[in-house]
Each structure stands twice: as C-alpha cells, then as structure tokens.
Structure 1
Amino acid sequence: MFYEVFVRSFYDSNGDGQGDFAGLTQKLDYLNDGNPATTTDLGVTGLWLMPMMESPSYHGYDVTNYKATEPDYGILAEFEAFLAAAHARGIKVIVDLVLNHSSSQHPWFQQAASSPTSSFRDWYRWSSTIPGTGPGGGTVWHPRNGSYYYGVFWGGMPDLNWRNPQLKAAMWDATRFWLRRGVDGYRIDAVKYLVETGNTLENTPETLSLLEEYHDSVKAVNPNAFTVGEAWSNTAAVVPYVLNNRLDACFEFDLAQSIISSLNAGNPAALRAQLDLVDRSYPQLQYATFLTNHDQNRVLGLLGGDLARMKQAAALYLTLPGVPFLYYGEEVGMLGAGVDEDKRKPMQWTAGAQAGFTTGTPWRALNPNYAQFNVATQQADPASLLNHYKQLIRLRTAHEPLRKGYLLPVAASASAALGYARIHQQQAVLTVANLGSTAVSPTLSLALSTLPAGTYQVTELLSGQAAGTVTLDAQGAFSNWAATLPALAANHTWVLRLAPAVPTATTGALAAFAPKLYPNPAAQQVRLELPASAAPAQQQVQVYDLHGRLLRTARFAGRLHTLDTGTWANGTYLLRIQSGPAVSVQRLVVAH
C-alpha cells in the first residue's frame, strides 16, 4: 500500500512555508509507526515521493541535477536520514524519476543549446524547421538560438534524446545513484513519451525496448526494486508496459475513472465492465489502483463532497487486486481543482493556525475546508473518513486474499449491487457494494472457483458481524446465498471473509487429487498432469471463463493431457478437471 507525497506540501519543519525531508521524517509515525499492534497510524507500507531532485520549479518535474536533492527540501544527508527512518518502520520508498525530459536550465541543455557543434547537442532533439505539432495539435518545437528543440510538455522541459548512447549511459548512472543510497524503486513519469519515431510520439516499440534495458539496469543494482509507470492511456495501450520484463506495474487510469463514474451514476455497470477488461488484460495483476493523483482534480470534489461515496470509493479500490496508491490528504477529504498548484495544497494536520502545516506562511494558500477536514479532528471521530481508511488498510494487510487473491465476479440479485471475490488458497473475501440510493438485501452467486468444497463461516470484516455460513459445491460454487446481515444501505459496502469451517472435499482420497498445470501463465501449450492417485477411467477437463460460462470440453485417458491455448484470448480461465468422482478447479492465465 503506497502513499503519494508531495514533499513541499506535507510538513514544514523550519517555518519557511515549505515542506521538507525533516518534516516528512517527523510525520512518519502518522503513516506507519513500525508497530503492527497499534491502530493509530495509517498503516501504509510504501511511499512515493513526487520529484525530490534539484529543480527550478515548485513541482520538480524539470530536473537540473539528477544526482542532487532539491535544496528547498534539504541536503542529501537529510534525505538519507529520512530513508533510514522510513526503512526502520518497514516503509519502502520509491521516488519520481523523470526520464523523458530535463529542465531547460540543466547544464546538459545549456551546453547543447550553445552551439550546433556542442558534444551535448545530440542529447536533445533539434531541427532547423518546425517538423510538426504534438498531441492534440500542441506546440512541441520551441525556438532557441536559430534552431528548434523538441519538448512535448513545454519549452522549459526539453525532451531527452534516448537514441544517444552517452545520454543513455548518463541516465542509467543517475538511476543507479539513488538505488545505491537505499531508494527502493521508481515511479516513471510520462513513460509513454520516451522515444519518438517520426510522427509517432507515444507508445513506440523503441520506448518499450528501452524499458527492457531500464529494467535490467535497475534490477542489477537491486533485484527487488519496484518500478511503476505513468502511461496515461487506455487499458489496451498500458498493458505492453508491464510485459516482457519492462515495468513491474502501471497505473490503471481507466479503472480509477470507472470507479468514480459508477459511484456518481449510482450504477455499477461501467465499473463491472472495466474490471472484466482489466482482469482479462493484465496476466499478472501488474497494475496500480488509485482514485486521483496530483494531476487530477481531487476525488472529494469529483464525488460532489459526498462522504458516503468517498468511503465507498476507498472500500472498492482497497479490496481490488493491484498495488493501491493513496494521494496525500485524500484520507481526510482534502479538496483541490483547477491549476496544478491547487491540487497539491499543504496537508491539513489540525484545525489550528495554518492547518498545522507550518509556523510560517505556507507556499500555497490552504484549502478553506481544513477546519473540519484535518487529521487531528478525524482521528478523534471513530466514524471519520480517516479511520475508515485506516481500517481498510489494516484489513488488506491482515487478509492474504486482499493482497494476493485473484478476482472473480460475484453475481448479485440487486442491480445496484456490485460483487466480486478475491480468492487465495482456501480463503476468500467477497466485496459487495451498493451503489444505489436505497437499501438492498441481495442474494449472491459464485459460478465457479478454486475454493475446496465445504462449509465456510462468513464474517463481515468492517463491522465484525457474523454473516452466517455458505456451502460450496465441488466446483467451488454457490448460488443465491444471502448473508444474515441487516440490509446493505445506500453507498455502503460489505467486506465478507469466507473461512473454511467444514471441508468436505479435502480429506481422504480426494485430498490427493491436485492436478498440475504448467507453464502457468501460458502462451501456447499447457501440460495438464494428474496425480498418481487419479482413477484409471477416462478423464475430463472443462474450460470456463470467470463468469462460469463453459467454453470447451476435452476428454482424455491417462494422467497427461496437452491443451493448446494458442487461439485463446488473453485472460484468466478456470479449468474443471474430473477423474472418476474426484473434481478439482484450477486457475490458468493465458498471456500471448
């Protein structure tokens, strides 16, 4: 669970009105105090710091020195002290890495612009004329000393020329610099724009190839380093960035938008469709979930100030697969819209002077809602948005299905209810969200799963209430089950834990029936191997989609069978394998 921090706006330690590394260090106990037994901290286990390298701008996305900290935030030693304090609490730290462009004030660019014969000239892209426009017809070629240089965002951020081997070597060196000082990975800004090919400015094969080199460079220093990319595109365009050892994950912008639009519509249809697409598209669940970030209007405003919807949005994305990211202040209902500075206002700590952010004058005016929407006030209110976030994050940490489980749709009898299951080994967590305006008591059905047959105790985790029992058949399915809970109120959510109570198909001879599928994920042929205890009679394998629709059936003799998935669509499948009376359901991921 990551928390996105804009250091300038988080906490000011010296009264100059700007947040800094020392202030961030002082507030680490709010984020995670390092003691799993306490419940006063937020419980996040990762931080993403927006740009913290030297830059002339407030935001830091135009870097002037890739091996220096931003002076407003503190010196390198203060950053390293922050890193050590975070690691001592079990918090990993990734930082923004701007690979696409530098500042126009960077010495590299200053030398490149000084003369066409400069040894740095080819570190950027130059033209004697204006070759064309950029995305949306925008200006991307900017005049300088009789020539034009390429900068997709604005003239102050000239794009780096990744076709130049010296530039590439310098950037890989900078990447290794921070990893060797203990940084745990990177968020890659504007990743889809790295290498242009002719008039194709984004998502080029050369960009994808470059990221494979980047992966190797990073993992050589720290094999466990985590990389997440900002490829702000539709889902289909994002997926290639996490394939072939490129990035570990990418932000799922379409999913974030579908959560917000479905909540505002009071109808789960858009979110249900996007979840289905996401699950079919990412073979290894390699996506990052979030609601909004520093480039978008803050989510409380997008949801019309409705705190019930805010709580429901949190419950949705924190119970879904993927790596969740929380934008600072979202947990207390900060507002922000319009120019970027107003989406990145100072953190609201208290109802006191300057919201407890600084003893001086804040670098940007505070939100007017800080008197009610702040950490201190909400910590004291058990029903607050902040305490709701704390509870959800603790539940995600405590229950493996919420961190590791694969996703299955759960059918709900009420049209306004969205249901899905996260399944890991012999446990499951079901989320049921009522997006409508009236209370519902839905019956729930799960068409097929890898859960063993048997009776399961059901507990609603948010309230701690017992919700009855449910019996799963040999296919790990149940139909028209109703929780023994009061009606599910409008914009409220159940998080239901299923724990085995009375297994019926995991003892005796049936327990030994555990077929193997390999390779998994598969690109072409899959070998199905039955255990030695399998009955000598004819065997059968049935292939289902995640909605329980039968796609194909094959019968075979003996313990071995080969499936050719070459014509199957990418996605996740459930295979019901039967040998005599023994039945097992296995999950197979197909990724060509």
Structure 2
Amino acid sequence: MKNYFSFSLKLVLLLAVLLVGQFVKAQNRQVSQWPRGVTYEIFVQSFADSNGDGKGDIKGMTAKLDYLKDLGVEAVWLMPISPSPSYHKYDVTDYYGIHPDYGTVQDFQEFTREAHKRNIKVVVDLVINHSSSKHPWFLEAARNMDSPYREYYVWTHKSDPQTQKEGRPTGADSDNTRHWHPLEGSDYLYYGYFYGGMPDLNFDSPKLRDEIFKIGRFWLTQMGVDGFRLDAARHIFPDERPQDNHRWWEYFRSEMQKVKSDVYLVGEVWAPADVVAPYLKGLPALFNFEMGWTIAGALNAGRGDSIAIKHARITNYYSKINPQFIDATILSNHDQNRILSTLNNDVAKAKLAAALLLTLPGSPYLYYGEEIGMTGKKPDERIREPFLWDAPGKDKHRATWIKPKFSTDATVAPLAAQKKDKNSMFHNYKTLISLRNKNKALTYGSLVPVNLENKALSAFVRVYEGESLLVIHNLSGVATSIPKTPEMAGFGQVYFKDKGAGVYKTAVQIPAFGTIILKK
C-alpha cells in the first residue's frame, strides 16, 4: 500500500510539473505573425561594420541577426543597398546590384537565407520614383535624343515656359519650375521632383513599366526578399493625377503577386489619412505618419486623451477602403528627427512613446537605435549616425564613416551596457515587444477608446477573440490616481504595470509617464 501511494504521489507530481510546463510554454508562446509583427528599419552603412573599413555592411548585419531575433523583431526593412554615388543611396545607378561598400550579391543572398532561418522577413527599399542622374539609362538618354531610354524620363524644351510651369504640376507648388533641371549642352530640361541628381522616371512609358516589373521580379526570385518598401509612392505621377498613382500600385502589386503571392508592399505616402487611404488597394501597408506625429505631440503637451480617438478614426476609415489593410505605425524613421530628440531628450517620455506604439493597434516599425535611445536632428546625416554596440575600445562593429554629433558615447549608453541595466531603454523596448508578441489582443485586437475624464491619460480597450485588455498610459509628469469608473468594471487582473502602478479597492494608481494594463 505504501508503495502504491508513493507511486501515486510521484505520478501526481509529474503531471503537475507537465501542466506547469505547458502553462509556462503557453504564456511564452509568440502569437504575432509577420506582417503583423515588429519590423526593424536599418541604414546599413551605420549599423554594423564587419571588416573595419568604417562602413556598415551586409556581413555585419548578418552577424547581428541573433540580436534582432532576441529583441523580438520579425522583419527588417533595409534602406537602399544598390550602387549609388551618394551615402544614402536613394539615387540608384544599378537596380540589379549591391553597392560594393556593402558587399556582394552573394553576401546579400546569404543574409536573406540566415534571416529566414530565424523567421525574420526581409524587406528592401525599392526606389523607382527616380534614378540617379548617373544611371546608364539617363546618361544614354541625355547623350542621344533617339535613345530607347529617352522615354524612361520626362523632358521639356526650355523655350516652352508653359510646359515647364504646368506640364508636370506637383499640386504643392504654384510654380514648379524648380523641379525642371537644365541638361548641360542641350536645349532640353528634365524633370526631377526632389533634385537634379534624381531625374524622375516616366511611368507613362510601357517600356519603363516593364523594366520596373523586371526589377521587382529579380529581387523576389534571385535575391529572396519578401517584399518592398516603396519610396516616394505618392510621386510616381504628379499630384494632379492621383488616380493614376493609385492604379499604378494596384498594377504593380498584381504583377508582383504573380511571382510571390504573399508579397509585402509598404508605401511611403506623406499625407493626412484622407490622401493616404486610396493607396490601400495597391499598397495594403502604408506608414501611419499621422499617428507618429500625434504621439510625439501628445507627449510634449502632456495630453493623451485624444490619441486613441484619433487612431480609431484613422483605422476605421482605412478599413472601409481595404478591410485587410496593415497599419505600419512608427515613432520616427530615417527622414525625421529621432523620437528622443523630438521629446527634448526626455527618456521617460521616450519610454512611454514606445509603450504607446506597442500597445496601440498597428504593425510597428522601429528605427535602428531607437531601442537604445539614440538621438539625432536634421540634417539627414545626423539622424543616421552609427549604432553603438559596445564601449570604445571594445566595439568591433561600430561604423566610423561619420563622426557622431548626437549619438555619442557621452550621450548614449551602448547596447552592451544597456543589456546589463534592467532600467535601460533597451530593456524597456524588449519587454514591450515581448508583451505585444505574446498577446493576441495587443497584436490583432480592435481599439475602443475610453474616456477617464483626465486629459493626461490615454486609455483604450484592445479586444480579440474574447480577450479584453484595458490599457492606461499617463502622459503627465506626476503620478495619478483615478477612481474606478463603470468602463473599468471587470478589469481586475493586472496584466502589466510599470513600477509604482497598482489597482486598489476604489482606484487605480499610475506613475508619471507610466503604464498599466488590466485584464478581464
């Protein structure tokens, strides 16, 4: 009998251990699936240098894939990597190549293979609004009016001022002559919306469109990428031809889907929601610049009451255009002042910005270095400074192509140091990313704004498949105690909280620039 009870006790204990193990596994299971997961934007030249030449490269990036996996990233977006005469490489001279500073085609193919082994998708910048003025197409078109590449670009004769002023209007300018550039040794001008070194491609040309499809197919098949970030998506055609812009992206998407049915396309359309929305049929993912500006503005003003209301308005509007749209949310990117600088170097506000980004709906994008609190203000080189991996003398991967002005060793603790500090910006991001990745309501849930009669608070409910989370952020610099309201009924379990937050019998306490998440 004694042996029987002993055996039974062991069996019960074993079952208990197994059940606890299964529970822990369920709690730690990642439920987010890209493209609904977190994407990490990389400026390759500043990210990780593998060979000591001072410039980040593809092999350096490959060596850091485990870091990105550990951070919780499910995809990377790479700024342009093709040959180009500029440091930023948004003026391409060869759409089928890799810039030699970054490596080789083989290096990139190895990168995509290694990324995919870690379930990290790869998105590359596709810059097709314009080429470089040093691209062989443009050089030949400029030399020879009868060149087949002449129709790849937009031209006018300099004796025709009416054409210069109205032939390709931008909509934003009453006089767009600044977009026309003289062709040396010629009576012709060419159109370049951004500047003379970036002549616009002519999408009225069937030959040019076929060339663009060929480029897209090459990167999807030969290079193994999962999709594209489409630069200057609003400017393929002039602003007076928005419907042509919308149709072009539908056409492009359908051609790319012939090669890869689940191809991912995310577009850059700098505009309010009503201008952005029509692009959603061709570009199912679009950057939500408006919400990024809203979050930063709210934090600087100390008012959070309208954040969720505005987000709900935008996403409800978008869902009417494309119910399957992907809201690519951001705090900053390579064209904007870094979020910490926008918030006047207030680390507490920057941590809360991350909490807002990762608890609101959307598929968040992080700009490299955001997770370690890098700073930077324009000009552009200063918002693209090198990532700090380790302390000086120990950092074998830090790029040195530019001497940093903002993100220096005096202003930013390197990643290695932040990994050891549980209160660091890095651990703040990693915790929040993990929280989001492991919760379906935070990843996929709908958004219901909640009014708590306190303008400093941003409160909303995320709902998915029967799970409801009440998220409350305090955008003020003082701790806040709020009485429990009817909207808070049933939310009694603390799912996540910052230090100092708590639920009491009649009130909820939230620290300055803090967050609490309650579960029904």
TM-score by length of 2: 0.85
Following superposition of structure 1 onto structure 2, how do residues 9-24 of structure 1 map, counting pairs within 5 Å? Answer: 9-24=46-61
Q: Alignment partner of 1:162: what SS?
A: coil
* Match of residue 5 from structure 2: none
Aligned equivalents of 2:84, 2:269: Cα separation in 1: 23
Q: What's the CA shift for 1:24?
A: 0.2
Q: What's the CA shift for 1:142?
A: 0.3
CA contact (8 A) 1:192 1:207 kept: yes
The structure 1 residue matched to 2:189, chosen from 148, 162, 182, is 148
The structure 1 residue matched to 2:212, chosen from 164, 167, 171, is 171
* Match of residue 208 from structure 1: 246
* Match of residue 460 from structure 1: 495
CA contact (8 A) 1:417 1:442 kept: no
CA contact (8 A) 1:409 1:446 kept: no
Q: Which amino acid aligns with 1:370?
A: D
Q: Alignment partner of 2:119: what SS?
A: coil
The structure 1 residue matched to 2:139, chosen from 110, 115, 123, is 110
Following superposition of structure 1 onto structure 2, how do residues 117-132 of structure 1 map, counting pairs within 5 Å? Answer: 117-129=146-158, 130=161, 131-132=164-165
* Match of residue 263 from structure 2: 225
* Match of residue 294 from structure 2: 258
* Match of residue 187 from structure 1: 229
Identity among equivalent positions (%) equals 40
Q: Alignment partner of 1:152: what SS?
A: coil
Q: Which amino acid aligns with 1:249?
A: A
For each residue in 1:76-128, what CA deviation from the matched residue of structure 2 results, as whole angstroms up to 9, or x when unmatched?
00001111111111100100001201111111111111122221111100000
Q: What's the CA shift for 1:445?
A: 5.3
Q: Which amino acid aligns with 1:431?
A: V
Q: Alignment partner of 1:403: what SS?
A: helix
Higher relative contact order (CA 8 A, sep 6+): 2
Aligned equivalents of 1:361, 1:461: Cα separation in 2: 40
Q: What's the CA shift for 1:225?
A: 1.5
CA contact (8 A) 2:484 2:507 kept: no
Aligned equivalents of 1:183, 1:438: Cα separation in 2: 47
The structure 1 residue matched to 2:519, chosen from 474, 494, 497, is 497
Following superposition of structure 1 onto structure 2, how do residues 226-305 of structure 1 map, counting pairs within 5 Å? Answer: 226-243=264-281, 246-283=282-319, 284=323, 286-305=326-345
The structure 1 residue matched to 2:202, chosen from 157, 161, 172, is 161
* Match of residue 314 from structure 1: 354
For each residue in 1:493-545, what CA deviation from the matched residue of structure 2 results, as whole angstroms up to 9, or x when unmatched?
112333xxxxxxxxxxxxxxxxxxxxxxxxxxxxxxxxxxxxxxxxxxxxxxx
Hey, which of these two has a bigger chunk of strand by percent? 1
Q: What's the CA shift for 1:446?
A: 7.2
Aligned equivalents of 2:463, 2:316: Cα separation in 1: 16
Q: What's the CA shift for 1:286?
A: 2.6
Q: What's the CA shift for 1:463?
A: 5.3
Moved more, 431-440 or 41-50: 431-440
For each residue in 1:117-161, what CA deviation from the matched residue of structure 2 results, as whole angstroms up to 9, or x when unmatched?
221111100000351275445610000022000000000100000
* Match of residue 571 from structure 1: none
* Match of residue 66 from structure 2: 29
Moved more, 160-169 or 486-495: 486-495
Identify unmatched segments of 5+ residues in structure 2.
1-37
* Match of residue 468 from structure 2: 428
For each residue in 1:279-322, what CA deviation from the matched residue of structure 2 results, as whole angstroms up to 9, or x when unmatched?
33110353211101101111111101111101100000111111
Aligned equivalents of 1:462, 1:31: Cα separation in 2: 25
Aligned equivalents of 2:383, 2:501: Cα separation in 1: 41
CA contact (8 A) 2:502 2:510 kept: no
CA contact (8 A) 1:124 1:159 kept: yes
TM-score by length of 1: 0.75
For each residue in 1:158-197, what CA deviation from the matched residue of structure 2 results, as whole angstroms up to 9, or x when unmatched?
000001011000110000101113100010000000013x
Q: Once superposed, what is the RMSD of the aligned Cα atoms?
A: 2.3
Are 1:394 and 2:423 an aligned pair? no
Structure 2 vs 1, CA of residues 355 and 117 (structure 1 numbering), >3 Å: closer, same or farther? same
CA contact (8 A) 2:328 2:365 kept: yes
Q: Which amino acid aligns with 2:109?
A: E
Aligned equivalents of 1:486, 1:442: Cα separation in 2: 5
* Match of residue 74 from structure 1: 103
CA contact (8 A) 1:410 1:444 kept: no
Are 1:332 and 2:369 an aligned pair? no
For each residue in 1:366-417, what CA deviation from the matched residue of structure 2 results, as whole angstroms up to 9, or x when unmatched?
6453344221111110011110100111011100011111111122143311
Identify unmatched segments of 5+ residues in structure 1.
33-40, 449-453, 469-481, 499-592
CA contact (8 A) 1:261 1:270 kept: no
* Match of residue 418 from structure 1: 458
Q: Which amino acid aligns with 1:205?
A: Q
Aligned equivalents of 1:101, 1:313: Cα separation in 2: 34
Q: What's the CA shift for 1:442?
A: 2.2
Q: Alignment partner of 1:370: what SS?
A: coil
In the comparison of the two structures, how many residue pairs are matched?
A: 465
Aligned equivalents of 1:248, 1:382: Cα separation in 2: 37
Structure 2 vs 1, CA of residues 321 and 17 (structure 1 numbering), >3 Å: closer, same or farther? same
Structure 2 vs 1, CA of residues 189 and 354 (structure 1 numbering), >3 Å: closer, same or farther? farther
